Structure 1
Amino acid sequence: MVDLIPREHLFGNPTRYGHQISPDGKRLAWVAPFEGVLNIWSAPLDHLDAAQPVTRDRRRAVDSFAFAYDGRHLLYVQDADGDENFHVFAADLESGRHRDLTPYPGIAAGIVGMSRLVRDRVLLALNDRDARFHDLHSVDLATGERTLVVENPGFAGFLIDEHYAVRFAALNRRDGSSELLIRYGQSWKPWLTFPAEDARASGAENLDASGDILFCRDSRGRDTAALTRIDIASGETRTLAAHDEADIGTVLHDIETRAPIAYSVTHARRRWYVLDERFRDDFAFLDAQGLGDWYPASRSEDDALWIVVARSDTRVSEAALYDRRSKTLRSLGSARPELEGAPLAPMHPAVIHSRDGLELVSYLSRPLGAEGPGPLVLLVHGGPWARDSFGFDPMHQWLANRGYAALSVNFRSSTGFGKAFLNAGDGAWGRAMDDDLLDAVAWAVAEGVADPARIAIMGGSYGGYAALMALCRNPDTYACGIDLVGPANLETLVRTIPPYWEAMRAQLHRAIGDPDTEEGMALIRERSPVYFADRIRAPLMIVQGANDPRVKQAESDQMVAALDASGVPVTYLLYPDEGHGLVRPDNRLAFFARAEAFLARHLGGRCEPIREGEAAGSSVQVVREG
């Protein structure tokens, strides 16, 4: 029997990750712990052992950042205890001073653009005028002085050029379609329409450096989204790349011209395709290094240096500095070196066929040495407009190490597999989307992987909803379930979305129903687990962050109240200092310790004893102990 991998090695703070190189190629920055809390660190490229923390937060992780082009500032964003009211800060790497560029209460700000041509300013989105819609402001990095660039009358977003001029705006229509409007002076004109069936998979990608060419992802006239080039003056459109098996994924652009140089396509595994011959040798070299499903995470302004992240199923993310001139790789270290030599389980891609003929790209990890049927945990991703991919997954490794098979399924509505697959989830929450999960379970049983009496379902956000609905709809299929920040009542979910999600309300109505119509409300009630709590027979754990702005605490409170009324036991964990997910390591470790004991109790897997002091700083409140 293999050794237990400590939970802390999988879910505690990583050693380092998120490396970025400065535009001038002289500095690196990354995320690493400072006094037990993840913070941003930086050092000269030729003197990495002189690294110093840029931020010194002692409460919550600071992990989203970018170098400015002025060679002096590093920008980072941070919220308060998961409320997602992000502020944008500028750290002066020379003086050490920090400035909140968005010092306004109750706002949610974001970085829209940083330009090589306007190096002393950054373009930010702020919703201080109208909480529903973000206006664009140009902000001076040194002084914080802001200038309004454009007021947002209700658009989903803008497309800007390198001079910070606003050229296009995206507008989501009530029928689910999306319209691209072009700016003429102070007015807007409809320019390009993506019908409702295409809107989620299609849209403007970027402008080239001249501002005369627009690149788009476009699924019109085909199933998968292609990469297209449109001459703005003439409207001439040319397809640059398209694949039948999956949508165009990540697109890399030339630093100078902003034209695409390469792109990825991910079906079961990621593959790179080169468009610009100048880069063919680079991709060939990197493909030959045994990096797994690698990707370029950051590039210097002269494009001579890349940060490349290597990732595979049994290889934790490892960053390396790639020098294009010398064709050399310099390791920058693993995110979790403590897992070197650990008994990690391989991940196996599989295509499972749904009952109505869809191909569900899935990923299975089994305990090392497993033979014959055993306990299985079905992991359901959030979104649902997201996807699972191949690579190192701490959840898979944790479960496989404890004796469970872990199965992740890209059910209908998952992104990347074409618009027909994506749109097949509309109106299918808790029905056909749940059928896909049932079909995956049936596949695992038929393949001799899963013992039908020992199957659990677990997920976060939409995955938490799926777990709740699965236990209501299929009470005899699952031995237990875990819901992490999942909605229970689709009416209250859609009525309490953050105000700045207003532009995507039509897409939510298209997916789950419009609560302001009789037909939509009937659909919502039919697909909301809170109304069917009395059908649940399997043990259930519900986990909620009190500050979650997307799936509010009222969702979990409603579900627990409905379970109490029906006499159904439930364990309810509430974290007063978390939002949509668990960020603080003490909170993560406290959750996984309890989840591990819960699964061991109901599925019979192994359980690491809770170590003295483990997660001692967690804020978890056990509201119910079922």
Structure 2
Amino acid sequence: MKKLIIEMTDPLGVTAMELSPDGKHIVVIAWTGRANALMLIETTTWETRLLVAPQFLPGWTGPIQPLRVHWISDALLAVDFSDGHCSVVGFDGRRGRVLGGHFMRMIAPDKPGELPQWAIVSTQGFLVGTGIRRINIVTGEKVTVPIGLPGDLVSAVFDRSGRLRAARTRETKWFTPGAKITNWYRHDEASPWQQVAQASMTEDLWTPLGLPDDSDTLVALSREGRDTWAMFDFDVATRKLTNLRVGHPTEDLIGTQEDAGLNAIQATTHGLKPTTYWFDARWDHLQRSIDKALPDTVNILRGNPQGKVLVFSYSDRDPGRWLFLDTEKMSLREVSGSRAGIEPGAMRPMQMLSYAAADGLTIPAYLTLPDDGPAKPRPMVVYIHGGPVARDNWIWDFDVQLLAAAGYAVFQPQFRGSSGFGRKFEHAGYRQWGLAMQDDVTAGVKAMIDQGIADPSRICIYGASYGGYAALWGLVKTPELFKCGISLAGVTDIGERFTDWSDTNSTEAGREWLRFAVGDINTMAAQFQAVSPEKHAARIRVPVLLAHGTEDKRVPIGHSKRMASALKAAGASVETHWYEDEEHGLRSIANIQKFNAALLDFLDRNIGPASPMAAAASAPSN
């Protein structure tokens, strides 16, 4: 086996890279400081040039910029632009034929060696349900794809000839419970649709992923008869799942990759750290070679296992970098980093651990310690993720590194209800706002104190969205643990989630999910009131920081404003930061910088002192 050689070059800050089918070019979406630009790298000379610059036009609220890019041949690109149009772009950089609203995929040619000419696009935007068509990128000929299904088209599966053969739809009725998710299949576009599976919004239903080799067997993502999401075959004739392709007993499957024939060749599971599985021996060999050369990283491979391969490598200390692998020479050249100015060696590692909840359930967690000398009890920030059916990940996290650089230990409990760890773990958090989910946070904080990691006199709890709720409720439920609390766009009244003007309850599907996962306001109003921070603001005796965007549609700013009023009425110490034109979270770099400065100052005053690095670390590089 040839020895792998690593050659380093100066990094550039980019957000995405794609390798051309022939391996001769790499297209790059790069951040210019104001918007995205499209760049092209030639992989023999490594010459880099601007392909498409962002446009700033009068009357537009934002720049016209490339958002996503896809190779449609060795010399042509399909680019999704922010003006809602997907266009063909050549090496001259000019926008050519408009394909539609959003590129979906190319159709493989009938004969080997022929260039693909037909693309599949959605006609209006990124949502599949807006309409689909096939378009010839050379002649411009358009063919509308027949759908003819009730409800909204959620996802679509095509065969290698580009025919729509499987689909998932969602049917809801205004103010009528019982939204349905349905999986459909047809042998070809002239055949009638067959309903092959149906479930309510709150039930598990397998998801069609692919249709390899134009067969009548689907590849499906399912956790039927098991705890975690895994990949199966689905036999349309018998309407049954068969042949487990890949699965893990405690980790959900989160991603797959297909070859040109739409055969699944790779899958990734999502435990505390992702694991990649290849079904192709050549890819598996390359993966093991790259992982050996780049240890302690997650390495994502795309390209030709017998030619040129683009590797994206990231870790808890590295935001990610793209490398170019020549499989003939077995040489690896770094092309670019994803963020300029980040030195991985100066970042802090994210430890993976677990602890026992009050009822014995094992809770996974992450812990990041500052670089401040020998082990000792430290000031600690308990950082709670949103969702709550979401999770943190083993990645370079700006917020975590910011806090660690400021001298704080950062503890991230993946409490029950978090995703990625199986159905039982996720469902254990349903209807447990302020109850078992919060008890998991409490158990984790106590474990950090007992292990000598956290200074019990200097612990603050912080989160956004659901995390903001958990931060505030922690101040009420376990006041002895925390010296301060920070809520960004947090829920403060659970019952209000059913009546506020949010995008969550604006549809019957959203309201049904709320009733299932959070609880039924008609029967649980008393429980909601018992665990809503706004209703118990008088019990909070430590400083609170509230931050919120004025245009938040997910958790309207009224939640934080009412909480601020209740805290002030109770005589509590509260500071507020309202951000104009921001939605659910902060997007403006200026506002992120302002919030980070306020956050570090608040922590410094309440559980600090922070390290001198804090001020320098408060601004993101991109």
Q: TM over 0.5, yes or no?
A: yes
| 1:392 corresponds to | 396
Native 8 Å contact 1:60 1:583 kept in 2: no
Overall identity of the aligned pairs, in %: 25
Q: Give the one of 200, 204, 207 matched to 1:199.
A: 204
Q: Does 1:473 align with 2:477?
A: yes
Q: Give the one of 247, 265, 268 matched to 1:264.
A: 268
Q: Give the one of 578, 591, 595 matched to 2:595.
A: 591
Q: Give the one of 511, 529, 536 matched to 2:517.
A: 511
| 2:27 corresponds to | 29
Q: Does 1:346 align with 2:345?
A: no
| 1:251 corresponds to | 256
Q: Which amino acid aligns with 2:490?
A: G
| 2:5 corresponds to | none
Change (3 A) 1:525 1:66: farther
| 2:361 corresponds to | 358
Distance 1:469 1:549 in 2: 22
Q: Does 1:308 align with 2:307?
A: no
* Cα drift, residue 600 of structure 1: 0.7
SS, match of residue 288 in structure 1:
helix
Q: Does 1:158 align with 2:163?
A: no
Distance 2:498 2:260 in 1: 43
Q: What are the within-5 Å matches in structure 2 for residues 293-332 of structure 1?
A: 293-296=297-300, 298-299=302-303, 304-332=307-335
* Cα drift, residue 575 of structure 1: 2.4
Native 8 Å contact 2:317 2:345 kept in 1: no
Change (3 A) 1:133 1:120: closer
CA offsets per residue over residues 305-358 of structure 1, 9 Å max, x none? Answer: 332221223333111122344433221122345333753222211111111122
Q: Give the one of 84, 88, 92 matched to 1:87.
A: 84
| 1:488 corresponds to | 492
Q: What are the within-5 Å matches in structure 2 for residues 132-531 of structure 1?
A: 134-138=129-133, 147=144, 149-150=146-147, 153-155=150-152, 157-162=154-159, 163-171=162-170, 178-182=181-185, 189-193=194-198, 199=204, 202-235=206-239, 237-253=242-258, 255-296=259-300, 298-299=302-303, 304-340=307-343, 343-368=346-371, 369-495=373-499, 496-497=502-503, 503-515=509-521, 518-531=522-535
Q: Which amino acid aligns with 2:41?
A: A
Change (3 A) 1:341 1:243: closer
Change (3 A) 1:72 1:223: same
CA offsets per residue over residues 67-119 of structure 1, 9 Å max, x none? Answer: 152553332354xxxxxxx935436244545589799xxxxx76555544674
Native 8 Å contact 1:138 1:148 kept in 2: yes
Native 8 Å contact 1:545 1:578 kept in 2: yes
Distance 1:611 1:449 in 2: 24
Q: What are the within-5 Å matches in structure 2 for residues 92-103 of structure 1?
A: 92-94=89-91, 96-98=93-95
CA offsets per residue over residues 439-491 of structure 1, 9 Å max, x none? Answer: 11011001101112211111222222222322233333221122222233334
Change (3 A) 1:463 1:322: farther
* Cα drift, residue 14 of structure 1: 8.2
* Cα drift, residue 376 of structure 1: 0.5
Native 8 Å contact 1:170 1:179 kept in 2: yes
Moved more, 47-56 or 383-392: 47-56
* Cα drift, residue 420 of structure 1: 0.2
Distance 1:20 1:611 in 2: 36
Change (3 A) 1:531 1:375: same
- What is the number of residues matched between the two proteins? 584
How does the TM-score come out when normalised to structure 1? 0.82
Change (3 A) 1:452 1:39: farther
Change (3 A) 1:64 1:56: closer
Change (3 A) 1:513 1:149: farther
Q: Which amino acid aligns with 1:513?
A: G
SS, match of residue 560 in structure 2:
helix
* Cα drift, residue 426 of structure 1: 0.9
Moved more, 577-586 or 367-376: 577-586
Distance 1:222 1:522 in 2: 35
SS, match of residue 442 in structure 2:
helix
| 2:59 corresponds to | none
Higher relative contact order (CA 8 A, sep 6+): 1
| 1:621 corresponds to | none
* Cα drift, residue 141 of structure 1: 8.6
SS, match of residue 425 in structure 2:
helix
Distance 2:104 2:389 in 1: 22
Moved more, 398-407 or 61-70: 61-70
Q: Which amino acid aligns with 1:283?
A: Q
Native 8 Å contact 1:322 1:330 kept in 2: yes
* Cα drift, residue 234 of structure 1: 4.3
Unaligned runs of 5+ in 2: 1-10, 57-61, 110-115
Q: Which amino acid aligns with 1:365?
A: T
* Cα drift, residue 532 of structure 1: 2.7
Unaligned runs of 5+ in 1: 1-12, 79-85, 104-108, 619-626
Distance 1:485 1:402 in 2: 23
* Cα drift, residue 239 of structure 1: 1.0
* Cα drift, residue 215 of structure 1: 1.3
* Cα drift, residue 604 of structure 1: 0.9
Distance 1:19 1:127 in 2: 22
- What do you get for the CA RMSD once the two structures are aligned? 3.7
SS, match of residue 387 in structure 1:
coil
Moved more, 290-299 or 459-468: 290-299
CA offsets per residue over residues 492-516 of structure 1, 9 Å max, x none? Answer: 435521688654543332111244x
CA offsets per residue over residues 505-555 of structure 1, 9 Å max, x none? Answer: 43332111244xx21444444443333333322222222223333223333
* Cα drift, residue 599 of structure 1: 0.9
Which structure has the bigger radius of gyration?
Answer: 2
Distance 2:318 2:509 in 1: 39
Change (3 A) 1:262 1:121: closer
Moved more, 239-248 or 492-501: 492-501
SS, match of residue 52 in structure 1:
strand
SS, match of residue 516 in structure 2:
helix
Distance 1:462 1:146 in 2: 45
Change (3 A) 1:177 1:137: closer
Change (3 A) 1:148 1:279: closer
Distance 1:94 1:356 in 2: 61
SS, match of residue 335 in structure 2:
strand
* Cα drift, residue 272 of structure 1: 2.4
| 1:539 corresponds to | 543
Moved more, 588-597 or 189-198: 189-198
* Cα drift, residue 228 of structure 1: 0.6
Moved more, 111-120 or 395-404: 111-120
